[in-house]
Amino acid sequence: MKKLFKLFMMGMLIPLLSLFSCSDEFLDAPSENQLTPSDLPEGVTAFDGIAESLYFKPWFTFNDKFLIAVGDMYAGNAFTFDGAYSQFLNTQVTSQNPILTEGYVSLFSVIDQSNNLMSLVEDRKSELPEASYKNAMAISRFMRANAYFYLVRTFGAVPIIAKAGSAPQPKRNLVADVYKFIKQDLEYAIENLPETSAKKGYVNKTVAMGILAKVHLTLNEYAECASLTEEIMGKQYSLIQEYGNMFSSPENNNSRESMFALQWKAIATEWGTQNTNQAYIVPGSTGITGGGDGWGVYLPSISLQAGFEPKDARKKYTIMTDGDFYPELLKNSGGFTYKKILSSTGANFRKYIVGSAAERNDVFFMRTSQNTIILRYSDILLMHAEAILAGASSTTSASALTAFNEVRTRAGLPTKTVLTRDELFNERRIEFALEGQYFFDLKRRGITEATAIISNQEVGFYSDDARTELISNKITPGSHYFELPLPQSAIDTNPSLLEPPVPFNFN
């Protein structure tokens, strides 16, 4: 009975959270529509409902368009004719861009709900076992750190909101202080999360170590990254054999390779709990979704297609090219054979397509239960190699090569005896295509190197049915390429965002 009561309360709390998860108030400060300890009946902890929602609901509009628009299209991995994304394709994103605003709001929603959970748990600390208290606080700080990690890498200086009910209209804080704040949250999470996940798909100490390793790598703190990744490797996580299973079959969610993933739930009558990616990715007029969605908005750029080596096993699971056959799609029709006429770049993405309601009971219009993976074990391996490379042009380190070649072997590619910087980053581009990583990988290379790379990437399209007549388009990014503008709506609500960033008071 007690278990049923808790489940009932989770069902009550999560819809309540949705009332403010995308509020414009997140643009300047935490929402005023916050839960308080008095909203929770006796015997139900805040962790039951809010912590569960932190794995999906506040991340919804971040995942819906922002992650791929910034992480892939803005960096040259994807092409589109959809006007909503044209500013990202042409690297001319303005402060009025609605996709940019949605992502900003969503990430501050994660921060707000994380702070709210901490406030609730802190208020009831005396009623909770110490382990439950620390675990709830650690999950909250882990989620908050991840939201800030995306914010600072995308927008630069942003306000640090350290607790629920903070003063309105906060000023931006120094980038160095945002990173310090992220590190402190992750270090707390490492100290207080369990060694193994309390529930399948939940984060643990090792996952927090992996995210902290990426923070160190972003800051060129190579020794710290190498140490953390070495501690992670060869233990509770490993590569799965079938690369494509991580992105096309929800029953394979939370595999041994998945470390931190957004846990989507496809519910026919509810919006904001699901993964919408399939709707934008499926080639138009193919009927793969079995419904009215499937618009082929994101197309693999010609440059990305050229990055695959011959016989790379990841290619068919990442992009569809002429003649590729997929027996798991349109099963009732004997499978699906891709034809290049479907795309103006001669290919479509395959990742995040799970099929139709006729084939699955968890697919509805613009809804699947496919996880969005934020961190997986192959990233640990490639981060380790990059950390040992440490900005050099090449390395023969056995440790770096072993980690790098493990990813290559899974892809069916020959191993390397010398690892170059360009090889490492191209491997990352292919391994994580359409996972929102490429922009941040380019950013680690620095503006001069990244500008040269981006300027040589073909992001045009073919104008004829044979897909041979190229309309070339190559983008030269401006000096502010690595720092997207703050949303104008956030500035209108909080003009102090225009002021120079200030130090954060850590006391």
Determine the average pLDDT of the residues in 211-232: 98
- 365-401 pLDDT per residue, tens: 999 999 999 999 999 999 999 999 999 999 999 999 9
The answer on pLDDT for 71 being more than 70 is yes
pTM above 0.85, yes or no: yes
From CA 272, how far away is CA 294, in angstroms rounded?
18
From CA 435, how far away is CA 375, in angstroms rounded?
10
Q: What pLDDT does residue 13 have?
A: 40
φ, ψ (nearest 5 deg) of residue 76: 100, 10
206-235 residues labelled b (16+ CB within 10 A) or e (exposed): bbbbbbbbbbbbbeebbebbbebbbebbee
Using only the alpha carbons of the chain, give its radius of gyration.
22
Q: What pLDDT does residue 47 have?
A: 65
- Taking the C-alpha atoms of 55, 60, 63 and 64 in order, what is their torsion angle to the nearest 10 degrees? 150
Determine the average pLDDT of the residues in 177-194: 98
Q: What pLDDT does residue 195 have?
A: 95
- 194-220 pLDDT per residue, tens: 999 988 999 999 999 999 999 999 999
The answer on pLDDT for 308 being more than 90 is yes
From CA 450, how far away is CA 444, in angstroms rounded?
9
Q: What pLDDT does residue 141 have?
A: 98
Six-digit token string for 120: 């609730």
Helix (H, G, I), strand (E, B) or coil at 353: coil
What are the beta bridge partners of residue 307?
none
CA dihedral (406, 412, 414, 420) positive or negative: negative
Q: What pLDDT does residue 294 have?
A: 96
Percent residues over pLDDT 70 in the chain:
90
| Domain range 2-220+484-498, CATH class | mainly alpha
Domain boundaries, the chain: 2-220+484-498
- 418-473 pLDDT per residue, tens: 999 999 999 999 999 999 999 999 999 999 999 999 999 999 999 999 999 999 99
Q: What pLDDT does residue 43 have?
A: 45
Q: What pLDDT does residue 131 have?
A: 85
From CA 457, how far away is CA 446, in angstroms rounded?
17
From CA 27, how far away is CA 495, in angstroms rounded?
11
Six-digit token string for 362: 């968890």
- 246-273 pLDDT per residue, tens: 999 999 999 999 999 999 999 999 999 9
Q: How many helices (H) and strands (E) does the chain have?
A: 21, 12
- 327-376 pLDDT per residue, tens: 999 999 999 999 999 999 999 999 999 999 999 999 999 999 999 999 99
Q: What pLDDT does residue 50 have?
A: 76
The answer on pLDDT for 1 being more than 50 is no
φ, ψ (nearest 5 deg) of residue 441: -65, -45
DSSP 173-224: B-HHHHHHHHHHHHHHHHHHS-SS-SSTT---HHHHHHHHHHHHHHTT-HHH
359 Cβ contact list (under 8 Å, min separation 6): 290, 328, 331, 332
DSSP 136-177: HHHHHHHHHHHHHHHHHHHHSS-----STTPPSSPPPB-HHH
Give the model's confidence band at 31: pLDDT under 50 very low, under 70 low, under 90 confident, else very high: very low
Q: What pLDDT does residue 45 have?
A: 53
- 482-497 pLDDT per residue, tens: 999 999 999 999 999 9
Percent residues over pLDDT 90 in the chain:
85
